[in-house]
Amino acid sequence: MLQNIIRIFSKIDEMNPVYEAVSRLMKPMDYIAIILTPGEDKTSETVEWELSMLLNWVKQTYTLENDELMVNNLLNFSKGFWRGLFTCYDHYYIPRTNNDLEQFFRQTKASHRRITGLRNWNSYIVRNGEMIVLVNDALRQEHVISRLRSVSFSRYKARKAQWDQRLTCVILRKKFNRNTEGYLNDLEHKWNLLNS
């Protein structure tokens, strides 16, 4: 048994170069985690600037042949997520993590179940669109009434028309599926009115 322990600990020296290489490549990840950690004094602009400076530092510092894969992966991943990466620092009500997002959807579904008594909310969300989620989230935000009062009625009407337009095809499909004969008769009647 003692020989096995000695054999295991003797390999530590052999693994030291590998450990140092891995810990060297992990340093940028640690810095990124520190930069992206939410704080009260952080804004999207400052976090974006800090992260872009860090990525430039990584490009200049990690120039060895073995570093190329890590640098390319880091740059490609950050480029792919760049647009949505900093939104949560300026808008506190946007869920910051996947867990926060899942919790938000779970609360919205639970609210729907309490209102309707239905377990499945698919038809409800298809019929009413993302407006359900937006309204449910807005009701939890601070100062929502004062923010709504700042919107003019004409802007509200224009936005409402956009929402209605987006949902029109879903509503028409539902009408068609519910009563195909009646839907087609209604279309035919409207066509005849236009052409007469």
Each residue of 96-143: pLDDT tens digit?
A: 777 887 888 788 888 878 877 877 777 777 667 677 777 777 777 778
Please give the DSSP secondary-structure letter assigned to residue 37: S
104 and 183: one domain?
Answer: yes
171 and 119: one domain?
Answer: yes
Asked whether the CA dihedral 144, 150, 151, 154 is positive or negative, the reply is: positive
163 and 85: one domain?
Answer: no
132 and 66: one domain?
Answer: no
Please tell me the predicted confidence (pLDDT) of residue 58: 94
102 and 159: one domain?
Answer: yes
Listed residue (38, 84, 30) closest to 58, CA to CA: 30
Q: Residue 38 CA to chain centroid, in angstroms?
A: 16
Please tell me the predicted confidence (pLDDT) of residue 157: 93
Which alpha helices (DSSP H) does the chain contain, by range?
A: 2-36, 44-61, 68-85, 98-116, 122-128, 131-138, 144-149, 153-178, 180-195
191 and 102: one domain?
Answer: yes
Where among 89, 112, 134 does a domain terminate? 89
64 and 139: one domain?
Answer: no
Range of the domain at 182: 98-195
9 and 79: one domain?
Answer: yes
115 and 57: one domain?
Answer: no
Q: How far apart are CA 41 and CA 35, in angstroms?
A: 12
75 and 107: one domain?
Answer: no
pLDDT tens across the length of the chain (196 residues): 778 887 777 777 777 888 888 888 899 999 998 998 877 788 888 989 999 999 999 999 999 888 899 999 999 988 888 877 777 777 666 677 778 878 887 888 888 788 778 777 777 776 676 777 777 777 777 788 888 889 899 999 998 888 888 778 777 888 888 888 988 898 899 898 888 7
Residue 141 contacts residue 135 (beta carbons within 8 Å): no
Please tell me the predicted confidence (pLDDT) of residue 41: 80
- Give how many domains the chain has, as a whole number: 2
136 and 67: one domain?
Answer: no
Where among 38, 63, 89 does a domain terminate? 89
124 and 69: one domain?
Answer: no
Where among 89, 117, 149 does a domain terminate? 89
